[in-house]
Structure 1
Amino acid sequence: MKFTVKSRGDHDSNMITQKIKNYLQEFELTYNSEEPDVVISVGGDGTLLEAFHEYTDRLYDTAFVGVHTGHLGFYADWKPDEVEKLVIHIAKTPFKIVEYPVLEVVVRHHGEQKTERFLALNECSVKSTEGSLVMDIEIKGDLFETFRGDGLCISTPSGSTAYNKALGGAILHPSLSTIQLAEMASINNRVYRTIGSPLVLPQHHTCLLKPLNDVDFQVTIDHKTLLQKEVKSIQCRVAEEKVRFARFRPFPFWKRVKESFITD
């Protein structure tokens, strides 16, 4: 089996990363950062997000597992004092693969044939940098509403506990093949109307955003911000690809939600 280890970069994470690398090589596993079968993330959810984006071209062949060296995360579910147990599992135990949906974002530009495609594990957000953003929102090719406000967030179920939750979106179980659209400070009065509630779209529905006014805005894919000019449309839907996690023990999602937001 081929593996690689990605560290957050702080002292503790680097020490644990080296320990995992040494242990697995002692078990005669091959360190290969180009074509890994397993990517071990040491840090937090942000570290795993970076690892995901590094290997988006290998999602069919690579599984992820996270060790958290800070606060409890939704992706990094192993503790530093469990590293030896994790290493033995990876080396000796056939692991279960759990697949979760990811978001496909296609950005098209005016006046050229340029099309950019991105994958997001958590969300894509579109935010105005000056004034109100005005966008038509089409669902399955039909105009649903004209949005006016600060911006929009389109999240995966895995990302529903992140920015989406801060915007009042619903928390969805990560196994559901859906995307969720949440508004940021929408303008609602006698002249302008939006639904004002988050929308959950199934796998076969496409959400298309079309900018209508001439304001600068930025598109963020997970932790990466793209400065967009002359954007014609932004298309979002459930991607054909899925993210694969290596599971060696139960991963109680609702318990993790409770521990993260309700109990200490």
Structure 2
Amino acid sequence: MKAAIITSTHKPSQQVKKRIQAACQSQGLTIDDQSPDMVISVGGDGTLLQAFHRYEDQLDHIRFVGIHTGHLGFYTDWIVEELDDFLLALREEQTNEAFDSISYPLLEVNVKLKDGSKQHHIALNEAALRRYEGTMTTEVYIKDRLFELFKGDGLCISTPTGSTGLNKSLGGAVIHPRLDAIQLTEIASLNNRVYRTLSSSMLIPADEYIRLYPQTDEMSGVMLAVDQETYPGEEIVEIQFQVAKERVHFARYRHTHFWNRVKNSFIGG
């Protein structure tokens, strides 16, 4: 098995990386940053997001595992004090050659620009189209049918695991990742005699999709965010969101149950 180790820049994460590298070498596990079978993220949820996007074109054969060097992260099964237990689990897996994993759905984002060009993105957490100065207006289609004319600060489209992030802060529901769905949540919508929206989060199943047609004269200052990356929105004429064909796979040594992750992250012990 080949492994890549992705770390944040702070010193504790770098020290943990050295320990993992030494353990991998002693166990005959190859360190390969180009085409790994496993990606070990050492740091926080932001580090794991970076690792995901670095290898998003290899999701069909990569498993991820997170080791948190600070407070317990949402995507993290191990904390640094449990590093010896993680290395033992890794060694036992190598011995038994039983590579177990659990997979979560992702968000596919397809963008059309004024010049006819297209962009394709994959999100682990969410994508958001929003205007930070003033409001934006966009037609919201569910599949090929107009659903509503939205006016407000923006819209957030999240995955089930991403439902605990920006979506939750906007009042959206927390969704279990066994549901193959995406969630549409409004950001400060205006409702009057001209603009009427549902004003409630919506779950879209895997066989449907959301299409946005923004009013191009209001796109100045609009940004499209896909996880931690942002893109200018001035040239966007259409965006389609749907459950991606790809899935993210996490190594399952003692994988933390989703609702335990939610409790640990937001409620505590």
User: Of 240, 245, 249, which residue of structure 2 is paired with 1:235?
Assistant: 240
Structure 1 vs Structure 2 CA RMSD: 1.1
- Tell me which residue corresponds to 1:199: 202
- Tell me which residue corresponds to 1:102: 106
- Tell me which residue corresponds to 1:3: 3
- Tell me which residue corresponds to 2:41: 41
Contact in 1 for aligned 2:136/2:153 (Cα 8 Å): yes
Cα distance between partner residues in 2 of 1:20 and 1:144: 51
Contact in 2 for aligned 1:43/1:76 (Cα 8 Å): no
User: Of 157, 169, 172, which residue of structure 2 is paired with 1:169?
Assistant: 172
> What is the Cα deviation at residue 56 of structure 1?
0.5
- Tell me which residue corresponds to 1:221: 226
- Tell me which residue corresponds to 1:143: 146
User: Of 152, 156, 160, which residue of structure 1 is paired with 2:155?
Assistant: 152
Q: Which amino acid in structure 1 is aligned with residue 19 of structure 2?
A: K
- Structure 1 unaligned blocks of 5 or more: none
> What is the Cα deviation at residue 262 of structure 1?
1.8
Contact in 2 for aligned 1:63/1:244 (Cα 8 Å): yes
- Tell me which residue corresponds to 2:81: 81
Cα distance between partner residues in 2 of 1:63 and 1:181: 28
> What is the Cα deviation at residue 213 of structure 1?
4.6
Q: Which amino acid in structure 2 is aligned with residue 89 of structure 1?
A: A
> What is the Cα deviation at residue 73 of structure 1?
1.3
Contact in 1 for aligned 2:44/2:67 (Cα 8 Å): yes
> What is the Cα deviation at residue 50 of structure 1?
0.5
Q: Report the CA distance shift for 1:230/1:250 in structure 2 as closer, same or farther (over 3 A).
A: closer
Q: Which amino acid in structure 2 is aligned with residue 22 of structure 1?
A: A
- Structure 2 unaligned blocks of 5 or more: none
Q: Say if 2:246 is the partner of 1:246.
A: no
Query: Identity across aligned pairs (percent)?
Result: 45
- Tell me which residue corresponds to 2:214: 211
Instruction: Summarize deviations over 1:199-226 as a string: whole Å, max 9, x none.
Output: 0000011100110152220000000111
Q: Report the CA distance shift for 1:222/1:230 in structure 2 as closer, same or farther (over 3 A).
A: same
Contact in 2 for aligned 1:100/1:242 (Cα 8 Å): yes
Which contiguous aligned blocks of 4+ residues in structure 1 show a shift greater than 3 angstroms? none
Count how many residue pairs are aligned between Structure 1 and Structure 2.
263
Contact in 1 for aligned 2:77/2:254 (Cα 8 Å): no
> What is the Cα deviation at residue 229 of structure 1?
2.7
